[in-house]
Structure 1
Amino acid sequence: MKTLPPFFKSHGYVITALIILTFILHGCGPDKKAKTEEKLVAKKDGIVQITTTVMDFISPDTIPFGWNTFNYQNNSNETHFFLLDKYPEGKTILNTKNEVFPPFDKGMDLINEGKTEAGFAEFNNLPAWFFEVVFSGGSGLVSPKKNSTTTVNLEPGYYLMECYVKMPNGKFHSSMGMAKPIIVSKDKSNVSPPIPTITITISSTEGINYNGSIAKGPQVFSVEFKDQITHENFVGHDVNLVKLADTTNLEALENWMNWADPKGLITPAPEGVTFLGGVNDSPAGSVGYFEVDLEPGNYAFISEVPNTMKKGMLKTFTVSE
């Protein structure tokens, strides 16, 4: 493996946000209809509704701090997720446009030309404040026409909601409008975390583990992040639930989960997989929750990092009749 430049030795963990936060500057925000719908979206019974119709996030602009339960409805024909990135105080998407876009755009151009090391070196020109961005959870991957329910604990501040799954041409979904600011206010949420039926832990040393057997029907999974590190693809670990078909190739699934692979996180997803949500990249020590009504069949928990089998971050299980 080539030696990475100093930027990635010390700051590799922020590459997730870099992918999206800069590509948004190519434009493609929600159209007028989506903006109108966005204003009409309300938070009902403590549930924050997020909807994707094509390449967009329709959601409230402001939510309370503390526990928030998100229902993410993916009505599009693409696989998506949402990840919440907390910005340092005083910084917004305008700072990204003026300070982050130029070096990142040049770096990505070099990487796409096959000049990977030179592209990574270009990121040394990124502003210091950008490395204070905190990945604060969100949904796991959600297949087309599916929905997910995820509960996370958020501090007040300015966040960017993003998706960096890739189009068939390799362009990130953010360049098509899937990056949206959202404010977490100083008004406290009245939501409490759900009571889990299954407890999952994830760490860099022990992989993904869970207690007991998993039965059919409604389940509430808690996900405890015992630690968080920067993996080879410059992101932290998360937990995604996927339903497997008889034809599913686990090696192909493992490779697809690595965005740094040219074919990773690119549409379409591997044959025979249906993503049902999970809990996205979160800080060490945090806990998130996701809810799923399980049908009988074969499933897996998998993280969005390279070499998941070796790291114990791909665990299969069967739900019986």
Structure 2
Amino acid sequence: MKAKMLTLLVPFLLLCCKSEKKEQETYTTGKTEKKDYIEVVTNLMDFVTVDTIKSGWNTFKYSNKSDEPHFILIDDYPDGKTLDTVKARVMPAFDKGMASIMENDMDAAMAAFGELPSWFPEVKFVGGTGLISPKKETNVTLKLEPGPHIMECYVKMASGVFHVSMGMVKEIYVLEEDSGNQPPEADIQITVSSTEGINYNGDLTKGHHIISVHYVDQSVYEHFIGHDVNLVKLDDSASLDELEAWMNWMDPKGLISPAPSGVTFLGGVNNGLAGSTHYFEVHLDPGNYAFISEVPSASSKGLLKTFMVE
């Protein structure tokens, strides 16, 4: 059962928004610096971006122009599995399972997810951005293998409906041609693991930082997916207990929009494969912050770490 549940989020590959085909472009990121990156914009419940990109190292610039918190999770799914296949084989189980979770009937939810196709364990979660609050943006750099991929966001509306079910899903194809890009040089290094939690080296001072996140391992937690790293700014009204509870999507109130009061999500990296390294950029102002994984009871696993920037 756990093997099937590991890929629970793959059902969200439905309702793909069709758009005019676009190739990877070169965008200007500063007054003088030129850099190849893939621009992704969310206006409401969408991912506006290119359809094909080169393989290897790529930087995604994600701008959340909506009024909801979002993230990008990139899935590498098996060859031959089309969105039509997913719609026919997955949607009934998805609908029943999520409805049961919102009604606090986990037995019925587990029974529904048990109907998911046997090829689900082949799906890999290969990265993306951490959570981003409304009107914020982030850059994340990761390495992608050739083949079909899916972008999704499964934050929930107040009703419990996942954003992916409202259109926040996008198919992209990664070409055999390599981008030729190299990863950036990080000044802060994070390691994340199921045994040691989140740890970091470097000085978290005010100003611009490039942060690397190395996945020492990856694990299946109580919510049937793995760990990631999200950066959160905390104001005086923020409650770490509320934040920690909210980060568990399997809680009927978890990942429900809006986010808990007093927290601003500034990005990070989404679920990655064991042994992989991902990078994100951030500008830190003075204040209180936390790194937190989207897992149940993160603090007990060492996956919630607070720090202060002076």
Aligned to 2:30: none
Output the CA distance in 1 between the equivalents of 2:275 and 2:85: 29
Aligned to 2:257: 267
Matches for 1:136-285 after TM superposition, within 5 Å: 136-285=126-275
Aligned to 1:3: none
| Letter matched to residue 140 of structure 1 | G
Shift of 1:39: 4.1
Matches for 1:86-101 after TM superposition, within 5 Å: 86-101=76-91
| Letter matched to residue 292 of structure 1 | V
Query: Which of 44, 53, 58 matches 1:54?
Result: 44
Output the CA distance in 1 between the equivalents of 2:99 and 2:284: 43
Shift of 1:296: 1.3
Shift of 1:169: 1.2
Shift of 1:122: 2.3
Contact 2:41 2:63 in 1 (8 A): yes
Query: Which of 294, 300, 308 matches 1:310?
Result: 300
- Between the aligned residues of both structures, percent identity stands at 54
Contact 2:188 2:212 in 1 (8 A): yes
* TM-score, normalised relative to structure 1: 0.90
Output the CA distance in 1 between the equivalents of 2:99 and 2:154: 17
Contact 2:233 2:287 in 1 (8 A): yes
Output the CA distance in 2 between the equivalents of 1:264 and 1:258: 5
Structure with bigger helix share is: 1
Contact 2:61 2:139 in 1 (8 A): yes
| Letter matched to residue 25 of structure 2 | A
The more displaced of 276-285 and 85-94 is: 85-94
SS of equivalent to 1:79? coil
Output the CA distance in 2 between the equivalents of 1:132 and 1:93: 16
The reply on whether 1:79 has 2:72 as its aligned counterpart is no
The reply on whether 1:42 has 2:32 as its aligned counterpart is no
Output the CA distance in 1 between the equivalents of 2:185 and 2:292: 23
| Letter matched to residue 42 of structure 1 | E
What stretches of structure 1 of length at least 5 have no aligned partner?
Answer: 1-6
| Letter matched to residue 281 of structure 1 | N
What stretches of structure 2 of length at least 5 have no aligned partner?
Answer: 28-34
| Letter matched to residue 16 of structure 1 | L
Output the CA distance in 2 between the equivalents of 1:181 and 1:74: 18
Q: What are the Cα deviations for residues 153-208 of structure 1, in whole angstroms up to 9, with x where unaligned?
A: 10001111000001111110011100111101111012110001000000011000
Aligned to 2:10: 17
| Letter matched to residue 9 of structure 2 | T
Contact 2:25 2:36 in 1 (8 A): no
Output the CA distance in 1 between the equivalents of 2:103 and 2:285: 45
Contact 2:130 2:268 in 1 (8 A): yes
Output the CA distance in 2 between the equivalents of 1:78 and 1:109: 21
| Letter matched to residue 59 of structure 1 | T
Output the CA distance in 2 between the equivalents of 1:43 and 1:129: 37
